[in-house]
Each structure stands twice: as structure tokens, then as C-alpha cells.
Amino acid sequence: MASRLVKINRICSWVLVLFALVMIVSGYGVTRPFVSQLSPLWFLIRGLHTLLCLLFTAQFVFHVLIVEFVISSKWFLLFRKSWRKKFNSFIFWKILQKSTGYLTFIISLLVILTGLNFHIPLIGPFFPLFQHRRLDIYLIAILIIHVALGAKMVFIRKRMSHTLTNIGIIIVSIAAMSFVFYLDTMR
């Protein structure tokens, strides 16, 4: 049962990446001056962004629960293997991905709570909406790193980890980061 859930979680995590991409693009469509806020297209993009936020949050919670309570690779086991002779590059990448996963969780939670301020103004003093736009760049950056590490682990698992795949992951990650930083400068 656990191995089946692990396979489902791997598929769900890549679908989560696609949800995040579309959600981020729709978020930029709502907050950046690409579309007039008086046009019907803006309201469509805002509705899509809200729907994707709900779907993203539900799938994100599922992913975190599966990773923490089903897969549950314990930190102390990873570090114990790293101190013994069983340490290999896969464990190193797993420790890095787990670390970025926790950062992703914390920043995602803050982005979700500050984004809720648009719909529930009562939480404004605690999670102001202007922080939503400020935190999204950090979330996107850590997501890119987390996904790149996940791709690296997939290639290691499939025994396709070569210099070219590593260079490809680095190039795609740098291109994605550059594009995001470019979009963030357009205010």
C-alpha cells in the first residue's frame, strides 16, 4: 500500500508543479499591468487564480501528508547514513530536497494566508495582502530549486544521471529563475 501511495505521490507532485506554474502565471496576470482590471478577462484570470489556489492547497496538503507520514524518511536516519560509510550522492540530494521542502511549506503557508486576505479582509493586520506579492518571488525561487532537486533525484533513480542531465537541470533552473525575476521587475 505504501509503495502505491509513493507512486501516486510522485505523479501528484509533478501535477502540483504544473498547478503551481499556472497559478503563478495567473497571479501575475491579476497583479501586473498585463490586463486592465476593468476587462472581463481580468475577472476570468482572477477566478482561475482563486480556483487554482484552492486546488493547489488541497493537493499541497495531500503531498505534505504523504511525504511526512507515509514516506517518512526520517532526518536522523539520513544523517546517520551520512555519518557512516553508507553515504552517497542520493542521500545528499535527498537531504537538500527535504530541506527545500520544509522551506517551501513555510513560504507556501505564508503566501496562502496573505492571499486569503483578498477574500477575507479580517486577517489583514496579521497577514497583509501586500506581503503576498513580496513573498511570491521567494516561493517561486524555492519551488524552482525544490523541483530541480526532484528532477535530479528522478534521474538518479532512473540511472540517467549524467553530466548532460545535470547541465540541463541547471540551465532550465537558471532560465526559469531569470524569467521570474524579469516578471517581478514589471510592476
In this predicted model, what pLDDT tens digit does every residue of 33-85 receive, in sequence order?
677 777 788 888 888 888 888 888 888 888 888 877 777 666 556 666 656 65
163: CB partners within 8 A, 6+ apart: none
Q: Say whether pLDDT at 18 is over 90.
A: no
Instruction: Specify the pLDDT at position 144.
Output: 92
Domain ranges for the chain: 1-72, 74-187
Provide the pLDDT for residue 153.
83
Residue 119 · residue 50 · CB < 8 Å? yes
Contact 129, 118 (CB under 8 A): yes
As a three-state string, the secondary structure of 88-113 is CHHHHHHHHHHHHHHHHHHHHHHHHH
Q: CA angle at residue 162 from 161 to 168, to 5 degrees?
A: 95
Indicate yes or no: pTM above 0.75: yes
